[in-house]
């Protein structure tokens, strides 16, 4: 066995040892029934995950949680005919606490927001589990627990308007993978972090967020992803307009980060095209040109962003005004960007 530090994985030097352990005729009392052991570990992982993400938990070690997310799909897919215990643990998983814990317990980085990457991994894990359960013919009630989670997030209607707006933007940032720290994300992240901190100290049972069941009556105001995306785009648009007015005093890394969140995330492509989009694209065009002129270079963004913007043009209606949207994207924005893999 290759054993180093307490935080390192324990590894087997040669696969022949694993083969020996998993062959009952050879290993006798040391025999490991691999499918049964995987199911046992899956149950233990789920139990640990629930304890780790409870509001009253004293600590949250994301590295441990991330390891679970990366491995549980592989473990679950190897389990045939899941036991009643495993199905019980899956059905008992508090997804809302998991979303809040992974989104609110952050390690500050120079440029990236962690919540968006964490939620992406979460949603992908939920899809993996739902597909596996469906293949195994499990009762739909358990499968539905992991289906369309991001579309079932609700905001408590008793919250004040500003807090609801920040919560909505926070959810949208995480769902659409707005990874870059910019003035708006910092304001929203700070606001939501304070809100969650106050909720942890409170004994009230009604939190700021809730999760609707697939077929249950909503207990809060569901976040409409398309409408929420457009409202969040407008908030970023306001920051860009403000940036133009005071660009001499503003760090251009902030402008660049705001542009990255608009152009590289799935924010714009998740919006339903509407007339206000024209003024937003005009502002983006003006800021991209200004950024390029003052920095004497083009904005560096991922190559996939170009495809997203071109796809966005395909969904514009054949109506007056939308032709200018397409022109702005193709002739006024993309030429001032450099795309890389």
Compute the distance between CA of residue 68 and CA of residue 211 in angstroms, rounded to an integer: 22
How many angstroms from the chain centroid is the CA of residue 231? 18
How would you write the pLDDT of the chain (341 residues) with one tens digit per residue? 888 887 777 888 888 999 999 999 999 999 999 888 888 888 888 888 888 777 666 666 777 777 777 777 677 777 778 889 999 988 888 888 888 887 776 665 667 887 888 888 888 888 888 988 998 888 888 999 999 888 888 888 888 899 999 999 999 999 998 988 888 999 998 888 888 877 766 655 567 888 887 655 555 678 888 899 999 999 999 988 887 776 554 456 778 888 889 988 888 888 877 778 888 888 888 888 887 887 777 877 777 777 777 777 776 666 556 677 788 888 888 888 887 76
Compute the distance between CA of residue 45 and CA of residue 53 in angstroms, rounded to an integer: 12
Among candidate residues 117, 137, 113, the one with its CA nearest the CA of residue 125: 117
Residue 321 φ/ψ region, left for φ over 0, alpha for ψ in the -120 to 50 degree band, beta for the rest: left
Report the half-sphere exposure of 221 (CA within 13 A, side-chain side).
Answer: 14
């Amino acid at each position: 066995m290759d054993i180093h530090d307490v935080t390192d994985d324990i590894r087997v030097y040669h696969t022949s040892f694993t083969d020996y352990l998993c062959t009952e005729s050879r290993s006798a009392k040391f025999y490991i029934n691999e499918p049964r052991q995987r199911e046992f570990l899956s149950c233990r992982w789920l139990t640990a995950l629930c304890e780790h993400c409870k509001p009253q938990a004293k600590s949250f070690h994301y590295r441990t949680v991330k390891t679970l997310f990366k491995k549980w799909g592989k473990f679950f897919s190897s389990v045939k005919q899941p036991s009643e215990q495993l199905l019980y643990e899956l059905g008992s998983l508090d997804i809302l606490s998991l979303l809040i814990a992974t989104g609110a317990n952050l390690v500050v980085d120079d440029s990236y927001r962690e919540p968006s990457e964490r939620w992406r991994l979460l949603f992908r894990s939920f899809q993996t589990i739902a597909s596996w359960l469906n293949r195994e013919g499990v009762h739909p009630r358990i499968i539905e627990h992991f289906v369309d989670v991001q579309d079932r997030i609700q905001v408590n209607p008793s919250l004040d308007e500003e807090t609801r707006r920040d919560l909505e933007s926070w959810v949208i940032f995480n769902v659409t993978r707005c990874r870059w720290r910019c003035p708006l994300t910092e304001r929203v992240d700070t606001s939501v972090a304070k809100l969650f901190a106050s909720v942890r100290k409170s004994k009230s049972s009604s939190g700021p967020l809730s999760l609707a069941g697939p077929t249950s009556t909503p207990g809060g105001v569901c976040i409409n992803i398309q409408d929420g995306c457009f409202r969040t785009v407008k908030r970023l648009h306001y920051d860009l307009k403000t940036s133009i007015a005071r660009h001499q005093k503003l760090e251009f890394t902030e402008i660049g980060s705001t542009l990255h969140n608009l152009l590289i995330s799935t924010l714009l492509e998740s919006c339903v095209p509407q007339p206000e989009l024209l003024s937003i694209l005009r502002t983006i065009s003006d800021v991209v040109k200004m950024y390029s002129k003052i920095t004497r270079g083009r904005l560096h963004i991922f190559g996939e962003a170009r495809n997203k913007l071109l796809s966005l043009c395909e969904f514009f209606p054949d109506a007056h005004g939308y032709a200018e949207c397409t022109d702005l994207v193709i002739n006024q924005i993309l030429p001032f960007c450099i795309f890389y893999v």
